[in-house]
């Protein structure tokens, strides 16, 4: 029996009371494609499959399960032709929402109305059988998606062309590479002309060229007026591709609006949440914040200053900035190393430094001392958002920390010289000369 | 066209109405057909003899039964004592083929949904057609196997008996019964996984409570009426009678049809009642 991971209590205040709850006014417009009202999905978690039987028999006396709301109080309205992204961490309920819309899950409360022919791409290639030929599988998959045999006959050449399988279409599926299966599956799904298309991270497989082709196809469907609902983790893709973005957290809708704005909000939200998570001592993972109870030193603040000593989070390319890490010593320690890392939106460490590498020493390390460590450098990273992580270590060699804060500060690099292209990650001053060869 | 998805979209009551399954399954006729074709192809896939296996196995069984029941064990049931060993083997084989279709249904229905979770969670799929598609494949297999019995009967008797035309009419309620059992087991096994081993064991016992190895007439009276509660006893007995040249009693056939229709209807209702919950558990 598959048990769902226990999650903290999701039943809380009603939606209206949620911090960033988007306002929902049921509109009377006619051109809606999807209308969702107070949708909720509850799972009953039985500790043991035996308990399910007990519940049937003795349910009137005692409760043998634990209620978990995977989704609660979600209301939204999607207009025809809109492209919508559902974002959220794992377990936030976005896939549950999509599956309810698709019809594979039944909601516990509320309603979802869909206007038009719905096609769901929850997983590419599900329902394929390895012993049958590509064509046989395509025909069955088409029937599942609701194509009649006549329509299928008409679509088959297009599918074969899009999947680029050639002769392989007549061979058993088990002789295919996984990429071929995915291509075939997407080709089938794309051949249906849906009015509403639901896609659940299905496109996160396959090589880059294939993904681009998928998005090309999605774009064409969108131009033809198809309403798209995408579930994805990839913020950038969603931002580029969708008009509207919804963010779910712990089964609740916490933000909605134009994709660009919500994507920025969500990124900041993610980072601030990570900063708030206290007490994680998992330094190797590099997530959140951590301190040992007996730690001798703490970071009390991280800020970025421009040349006029003003704190700022928007940095202009080419200018010099100082990153100030404020430290307070609580106990005695013999060595102290302060350092920082800059990460891009993918979590990649772009640059960093620490006091040990620069052989900078603290003049004294007495309890109660307060120090500012300032790292100064000209900002040459390409425009974008970066997060600053700061750490205090006992020495530079072993990863034993006094205190660290991931995503202590969010900064954004902007390019004051509009219209210039930045090649790569760093915009170094490159001196260029052209000389005649001798 | 507006689709509404809510907790109360469907009630099980609408599925137990008489004839409800027929209307609902008719919409999916194309998919049912494709799944049935796939079922048949999968059965013979990769084997060199292909559908010939459906002949070879009964033929082999026939030879062995003839030897065992003709020369080693002589069954003494009512009327069975006078049969030649070939006739006897024919009786046994026809009963066994019919019973086997039941035990195959029991054995496979329990895995039907559990073994294909992708149809539950990953695609929007009318799960209720799976037992039907499987049944269609099984019926084809059963008919091919039964043709061995018919050919042998033709050879033994030298003529074709008109009562053989009753066989499809006897197989119809049998199929309905299997379908009901299939729906019931496929749905229940999702929630109650102990069902799989339980049913396999029960099936092995049930063969002795079904007149396969003996004629129903040899069962003493107080028990005989009870045995008729087992729909398999009807299919085996009526099928054999038709094979031996006796037209089945019309009233009996109608009773059987009614009985198996109820089983089918209840199985469908039960399946559709549990259907919305399956995705939560699989």
Q: How far is B41 from chain A (nearest CA, A)?
A: 9
The answer to whether B248 and B238 have CB atoms below 8 angstroms apart is yes
**Residue B122 and residue A123: Cβ atoms within 8 Å?**
yes
The answer to whether A37 and A111 have CB atoms below 8 angstroms apart is yes
Select from B4, B6, B190, B32 the least CA-distant residue to B125: B32
Task: Find all residues with CB under 8 Å of B248, minimum gap 6, and list them.
Answer: B166, B169, B170, B238, B241, B242
- Cβ–Cβ contacts within 10 Å for residue B65, how many? 21
Residue with tokens 């995503």: A407
Q: How far is B48 from chain A (nearest CA, A)?
A: 15
Report the residue from A53, A99, A116 with minimal CB separation from B1: A116
Report the residue from B118, B193, B276 with minimal CB separation from A126: B118
Q: How far is A91 from chain B (nearest CA, A)?
A: 15
Select from B173, B153, B179, B143 the least CA-distant residue to B242: B153
Report the residue from A44, A106, A127 with minimal CB separation from B123: A127
Cα distance between residue B239 and residue B261, in whole Å: 18
pLDDT score for A412: 85
> Taking the CA of residue B89 as centre, how many other CA atoms within 13 Å lie in the half-sphere pointing to its CB?
24
B33 touching A, CB under 8 A? Answer: no
**Residue A111 and residue B4: Cβ atoms within 8 Å?**
yes
**Residue B9 and residue A43: Cβ atoms within 8 Å?**
no
Q: How far is B29 from chain A (nearest CA, A)?
A: 10
Q: What are the chain B neighbours of A231 within 8 Å (beta carbons)?
A: none
DSSP state of A353: E
Q: How far is CA A380 from the centre of its chain?
A: 27
Interface test with B, best of A78, A102, A143 (most B CBs within 10 A): A143
Maximum CA extent, chain A: 97
Report the residue from B5, B193, B281 with minimal CB separation from A112: B5
Backbone phi, psi, residue B83, to 5°: -70, 150
Domain residue spans of chain B: 27-40+51-281
Select from B9, B28, B20 the least CA-distant residue to B270: B20
Report the residue from A129, A144, A148 with minimal CB separation from B125: A144
pLDDT score for A12: 35
**Residue B1 and residue A112: Cβ atoms within 8 Å?**
no
Q: What are the chain A neighbours of B120 within 8 Å (beta carbons)?
A: 104
Q: What is the pLDDT along chain A (438 residues), one digit of tens a residue?
A: 333 333 333 333 333 333 344 444 555 567 888 988 889 988 888 877 777 778 878 877 777 788 888 888 888 889 888 899 998 888 888 888 998 998 888 888 888 988 888 888 887 777 788 888 888 888 888 888 778 888 888 888 888 888 888 888 888 888 888 778 888 888 887 777 788 888 887 666 666 677 777 888 888 888 888 899 988 877 777 877 888 999 888 888 888 888 888 887 887 777 666 554 433 333 333 445 666 666 788 888 899 999 888 888 889 888 899 999 999 988 888 888 999 988 877 667 889 998 888 888 888 888 888 999 999 999 989 888 888 889 888 877 776 788 888 778 888 888 887 777 778 888 888 899 999 988
B13 touching A, CB under 8 A? Answer: no
Residue with tokens 């007996």: A294
Report the residue from B5, B123, B193 with minimal CB separation from A126: B123
Q: Please, what sign has the CA dihedral across residues A190, A192, A198, A201?
A: negative
Q: What residue in A sits closest to B190 (Cα-Cα)?
A: A1
Cα distance between residue B243 and residue B173, in whole Å: 17
Q: How far is A273 from chain B (nearest CA, A)?
A: 30
Q: What residue in A sits closest to B121 (Cα-Cα)?
A: A104
The residues in B 116-175 lying below 8 A from A, measured between CB atoms, are 118-125
Cα distance between residue A275 and residue A272, in whole Å: 5
Q: How far is B177 from chain A (nearest CA, A)?
A: 27
Cα distance between residue A283 and residue B149, in whole Å: 75
pLDDT score for A320: 92
**Residue A149 and residue B30: Cβ atoms within 8 Å?**
yes
The answer to whether A243 and A214 have CB atoms below 8 angstroms apart is no
pLDDT score for A233: 77
**Residue B30 and residue A103: Cβ atoms within 8 Å?**
no
Q: Burial level of B8, CB count in 10 A (0-12/13-18/19+)?
A: exposed
Q: What residue in B sits closest to A140 (Cα-Cα)?
A: B34
Cα distance between residue B19 and residue B249, in whole Å: 25
Q: What are the chain B neighbours of A104 within 8 Å (beta carbons)?
A: 120-124, 279
Q: What are the chain B neighbours of A116 within 8 Å (beta carbons)?
A: 1
Maximum CA extent, chain B: 70
Q: What is the dihedral of CA A257, A261, A263, A269, to 10 degrees?
A: -100
Q: What are the chain B neighbours of A34 within 8 Å (beta carbons)?
A: none
DSSP state of B72: I
B80 touching A, CB under 8 A? Answer: no
Could you give the domains of chain A? Answer: 280-414 (2.70.50.60)
The DSSP element (H or E) to which B153 belongs, if any, is: helix B129-157
**Residue A127 and residue B192: Cβ atoms within 8 Å?**
no
Structure tokens at A251: 């089964």
Q: How far is B3 from chain A (nearest CA, A)?
A: 5
Cα distance between residue A142 and residue A145, in whole Å: 5
The answer to whether A102 and A281 have CB atoms below 8 angstroms apart is no
Interface test with A, best of B9, B35, B122 (most A CBs within 10 A): B122
Interface test with B, best of A106, A118, A174, A192 (most B CBs within 10 A): A106
- Cβ–Cβ contacts within 10 Å for residue B59, how many? 14
pLDDT score for A260: 80
A148 touching B, CB under 8 A? Answer: yes
- What ipTM was predicted for this assembly? 0.78
Q: How far is CA B13 from CA A107, A108, A334, B180, in A?
A: 19, 19, 78, 17
Q: What is the pLDDT along chain B (282 residues), one digit of tens a residue?
A: 788 888 765 566 777 777 778 888 888 888 888 889 888 888 877 777 777 888 888 888 888 888 887 777 776 666 676 777 778 888 888 898 999 999 999 989 988 898 888 888 888 888 889 999 999 999 998 988 888 888 888 888 777 788 888 888 899 999 999 999 999 999 999 888 888 888 888 888 998 888 888 888 888 888 888 888 888 998 998 888 888 878 888 888 998 899 899 999 999 999 988 888 888 887
Cα distance between residue A382 and residue A422, in whole Å: 6
pLDDT score for B8: 65
Q: How far is CA A8 from CA A5, A66, A70, A399, B32, in A?
A: 10, 12, 11, 32, 43
The residues in A 18-77 lying below 8 A from B, measured between CB atoms, are 43-44, 49, 52-53
Report the residue from B7, B35, B123 with minimal CB separation from A122: B123
The 3-state DSSP class for residue A366 equals coil
Q: How far is A215 from chain B (nearest CA, A)?
A: 21
Cα distance between residue B163 and residue B148, in whole Å: 17
Q: What is the dihedral of CA A399, A404, A407, A409, to 10 degrees?
A: -130
**Residue B3 and residue A113: Cβ atoms within 8 Å?**
yes
Cα distance between residue B221 and residue B39, in whole Å: 42
Cα distance between residue B109 and residue B182, in whole Å: 5
**Residue B34 and residue A112: Cβ atoms within 8 Å?**
no
B10 touching A, CB under 8 A? Answer: no
Q: What residue in B sits closest to A115 (Cα-Cα)?
A: B2
pLDDT score for A282: 36
pLDDT score for B64: 86
pLDDT score for B257: 92
**Residue A129 and residue B42: Cβ atoms within 8 Å?**
yes
Q: How far is CA B9 from CA A96, A110, A114, in A?
A: 18, 11, 13
């Amino acid at each position: 029996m598959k048990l769902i991971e226990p999650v903290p209590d999701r039943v809380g205040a009603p939606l209206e009371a949620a911090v960033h709850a988007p306002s929902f006014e049921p509109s009377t417009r006619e051109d809606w494609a999807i209308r969702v009202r107070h949708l909720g999905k509850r799972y009953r978690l039985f500790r043991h499959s035996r308990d399910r039987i007990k519940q049937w028999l003795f349910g009137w006396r005692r409760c043998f399960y634990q209620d978990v709301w995977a989704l609660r109080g979600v209301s939204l309205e999607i207009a025809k032709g809109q492209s919508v992204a559902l974002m959220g961490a794992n377990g936030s309920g976005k896939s549950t929402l999509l599956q309810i819309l698709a019809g594979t899950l039944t909601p516990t409360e509320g309603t979802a109305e869909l206007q038009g022919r719905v096609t769901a791409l929850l997983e590419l290639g599900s329902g394929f059988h390895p012993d049958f030929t590509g064509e046989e599988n395509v025909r069955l998959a088409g029937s599942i998606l609701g194509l009649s045999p006549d329509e299928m006959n008409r679509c088959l050449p297009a599918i074969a062309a899009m999947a680029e399988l050639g002769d392989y279409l007549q061979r058993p599926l088990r002789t295919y590479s996984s990429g071929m299966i995915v291509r075939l599956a997407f080709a089938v799904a794309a051949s249906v002309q849906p009015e509403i298309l639901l896609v659940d991270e299905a496109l996160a497989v396959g090589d880059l060229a294939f993904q681009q082709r998928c998005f090309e196809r999605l774009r064409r469907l969108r131009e033809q007026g198809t309403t798209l609902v995408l579930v994805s983790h990839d913020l950038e893709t969603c931002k580029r591709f969708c008009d509207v973005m919804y963010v779910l957290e712990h089964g609740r809708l916490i933000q909605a609006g134009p994709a660009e704005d919500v994507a920025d909000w969500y990124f900041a939200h993610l980072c601030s949440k990570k900063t708030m998570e206290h007490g994680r001592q998992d330094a190797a993972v590099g997530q959140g914040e951590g301190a040992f109870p007996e730690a001798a030193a703490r970071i009390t603040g991280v800020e970025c200053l421009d040349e006029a000593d003003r704190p700022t989070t928007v940095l202009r390319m080419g200018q010099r900035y100082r990153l100030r890490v404020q430290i307070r010593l609580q106990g005695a320690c013999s060595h102290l190393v302060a350092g920082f890392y800059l990460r891009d939106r993918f979590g990649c460490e772009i640059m960093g430094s620490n006091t040990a590498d620069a052989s900078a020493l603290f003049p004294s390390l007495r309890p109660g001392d307060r120090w500012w460590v300032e790292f100064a450098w000209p900002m040459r990273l390409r425009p974008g958002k970066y997060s600053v992580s700061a750490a205090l270590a006992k020495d530079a060699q072993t990863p034993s920390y006094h205190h660290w804060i991931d995503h202590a500060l969010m900064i954004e690099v902007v390019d004051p010289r509009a219209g210039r292209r930045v090649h790569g990650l760093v915009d170094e001053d490159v001196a260029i000369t052209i000389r005649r060869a001798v | 066209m507006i689709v509404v998805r809510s907790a109360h979209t469907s009630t099980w009551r609408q599925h137990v109405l008489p004839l409800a399954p027929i209307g609902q399954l008719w919409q999916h006729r194309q998919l049912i057909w494709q799944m049935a074709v796939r079922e048949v192809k999968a059965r013979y896939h990769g084997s060199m003899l292909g559908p010939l296996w459906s002949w070879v196995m009964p033929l082999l069984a026939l030879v062995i039964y003839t030897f065992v029941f003709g020369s080693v064990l002589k069954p003494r049931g009512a009327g069975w004592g006078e049969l030649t060993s070939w006739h006897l083997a024919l009786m046994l084989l026809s009963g066994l083929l019919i019973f086997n279709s039941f035990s195959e249904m029991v054995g496979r229905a329990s895995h039907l949904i559990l073994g294909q979770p992708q149809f539950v969670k990953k695609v929007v799929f009318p799960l209720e057609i799976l037992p039907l598609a499987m049944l269609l494949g099984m019926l084809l297999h059963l008919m091919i196997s039964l043709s061995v019995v018919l050919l042998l009967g033709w050879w033994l008797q030298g003529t074709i008996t008109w009562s053989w035309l009753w066989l499809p009419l006897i197989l119809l309620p049998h199929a309905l019964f299997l379908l009901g059992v299939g729906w019931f087991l496929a749905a229940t096994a999702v929630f109650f996984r102990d069902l799989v081993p339980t049913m396999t064991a029960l099936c092995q016992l049930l063969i002795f409570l079904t007149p396969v190895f003996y004629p129903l007439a040899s069962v003493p009276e107080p028990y005989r009426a009870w045995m008729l509660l087992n729909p398999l006893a009807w299919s085996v007995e009526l099928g054999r009678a038709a094979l031996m040249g006796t037209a089945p009693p019309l009233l009996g056939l109608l009773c059987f049809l009614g009985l198996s229709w109820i089983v089918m209807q209840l199985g469908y209702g039960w399946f559709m009642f549990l259907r919305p919950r399956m995705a939560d558990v699989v």
